[in-house]
Structures are given as C-alpha cells and as structure tokens.
Chain A
C-alpha cells in the first residue's frame, strides 16, 4: 500500500490561486470517485475540506474546490488568504482490502 503522491510544498500570494495535486493509480484515485482532502494547521487535528472528489462540507468556503482526471485528483484554492497556510492531505478509497490511503501531504505557504 503506497501513499498517494503529493508535491512537498506549494506557495502563492494572497488573492492568487493554487492547485495541489494528488497522484495515485487505477486501484485508488483513478478507480473510484472517493477522494477527500484535509487541511491541518500546526498542532491541530485535520479538518475535512472536500469529499467525493468535489463536494464541500457545510461551512467550508467555496474558494476550495476539488476535481479529478484519470489517476490524479486536485485541490484548488482560489483567492488565497493568510489563514489558508497549512498542510493539506488527500485520501482515497483503495478497494475492499486496503480500504484507504493518504497522500504524503503538501505544505501551502501564503507569501
């Protein structure tokens, strides 16, 4: 069970947009529409931002959006704000035996 591949870091200026990728295989990301994204600030528990590839839980700003193409899922944050600076993790269903796998995480820096 290999972790999904995410860039170690991304950055952007306030007001700009950034996209974080999450690459897996046809056995996980590419095979199912069950990708979720989590935001984690230092010392805090992860927070659900996106589920089922592109759905937003109540209370999550519409600046956050998700998509998928083939074996790669993406999280896009538009209109970057200082409070968006955090680590972001993707997670995908990976079949009835493995069940779930997380990405390695991406550190977002707001310049």
Chain B
C-alpha cells in the first residue's frame, strides 16, 4: 500500500499562517484521492476538519482551508490560535483502501 507523508512537526506564531502538506508515494495527489484532514488533541478522538480536498464541516473554524498545491494536498491555517495546537493527520483514499499520513505536530508559540 501507498505511503502518505507529512511534516513531523511545525510551529506557528499566534495570529500567523502555516501550511501543512500531504504527499503520496504513488505520485501526485489529486482530488480523486479525496484528501481529508483531521485534528487530534491529546486524549481526544480525531475530529474531521476537511473532506474532499477543501470542504469544511459545520464545526470547522473558518481559519482552516484545504487545497491541492505542488502535487500535494495542503491544509492552511490562517490566524493561528493557541487552541489550534494539536496533531494533524491527512488521509488519502485509493479506490477503497485508505492511508493516513504519519501526522504533523503543530505548536503554536
């Protein structure tokens, strides 16, 4: 099965902007992979932020956005808040099977 890659860790200043990326060992990430982004805080279940590349759930803060850029899926956080400190996982689907990325630990400081 494919390997999905993410930055292990990133940091952002409060109010700043950061972009997390999600790549695939099989090549370019496309909308056909239906990229998802999940946020997970310690001791909590994951929460889905973005589905199908760029769609948001009703609970997704407006400061989060998803897109495709440079052959990867991206999650951009604009105007970071202290409560955004968490681990973020991307997910790509491969015509049935799913593959999660290893996660990006985002620090807001």
Say whether A and B bind each other. no
